[in-house]
């Protein structure tokens, strides 16, 4: 007999502290491909009236400058994203080697900003557990297609 407790509540007590494989998912795309997907999704979302969101992750130094995301850090970030996002989401480099993006298209009924902020908090907690030495340098931002342009400078 199946429990009537929703799956997300049953997972609330599961520990995500285990190490993930460092190889990024096959769904991780290059900057050029990610930008093309972003343009296509922006057009689709404007037609539907549901704005897509973009999750931006980057590392920053003490002066809040964006610094390259290399080696184990980038592999772990990509692996965490690929195992915690939906199949409809796209993961890639917004700026190659420096800024990771996750395109989060809206599925009907999921347009609440609260859902995006819960996702951001969950990913932040997982990454802080898996990357304790660099977790203070990780930055997350949920953007619209207009907000994300600030990362083009």
Q: Cα–Cα distance between 129 and 26 in angstroms, integer?
A: 24
Q: Just give the CATH number of 26-152.
A: 3.30.70.270
Q: Is 151 within 8 Å of 56 (Cβ atoms)?
A: yes
142, two tokens: 């949920």
pTM: 0.77
20, two tokens: 């993930």
Which tens digit of pLDDT belongs to each residue from 100-123?
999 988 765 555 667 888 888 899
Q: Is 98 within 8 Å of 66 (Cβ atoms)?
A: yes
Q: What are the φ and ψ backbone dihedral angles of 116, each rounded to 5 degrees?
A: -70, -40
Domain ranges of the chain: 26-152
The residues facing 67 across adjacent strands are: 59
Which tens digit of pLDDT belongs to each residue from 118-148?
888 899 899 888 888 887 789 989 888 888 9
Which tens digit of pLDDT belongs to each residue from 49-97?
877 889 999 999 877 789 999 888 898 999 999 888 888 889 999 999 9
């Amino acid at each position: 007999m199946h429990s009537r407790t929703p799956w997300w509540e049953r997972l609330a007590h599961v520990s995500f502290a285990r190490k993930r494989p460092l190889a990024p998912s096959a769904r991780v795309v290059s900057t050029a491909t990610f930008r093309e997907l972003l343009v296509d999704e922006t057009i689709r979302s404007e037609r539907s009236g549901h704005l897509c969101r973009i999750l931006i992750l980057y590392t920053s130094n003490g002066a809040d400058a964006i610094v390259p995301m290399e080696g184990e850090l980038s592999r772990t970030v990509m692996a965490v994203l690929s195992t915690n996002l939906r199949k409809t989401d796209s993961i890639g480099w917004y700026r190659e080697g420096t800024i990771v993006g996750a395109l989060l298209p809206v599925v009907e009924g999921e347009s609440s900003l609260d859902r995006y902020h819960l996702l951001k908090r969950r990913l932040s907690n997982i990454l802080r557990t898996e990357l304790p030495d660099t977790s203070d340098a990780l930055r997350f931002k949920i953007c619209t297609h207009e907000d994300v342009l600030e990362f083009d400078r």
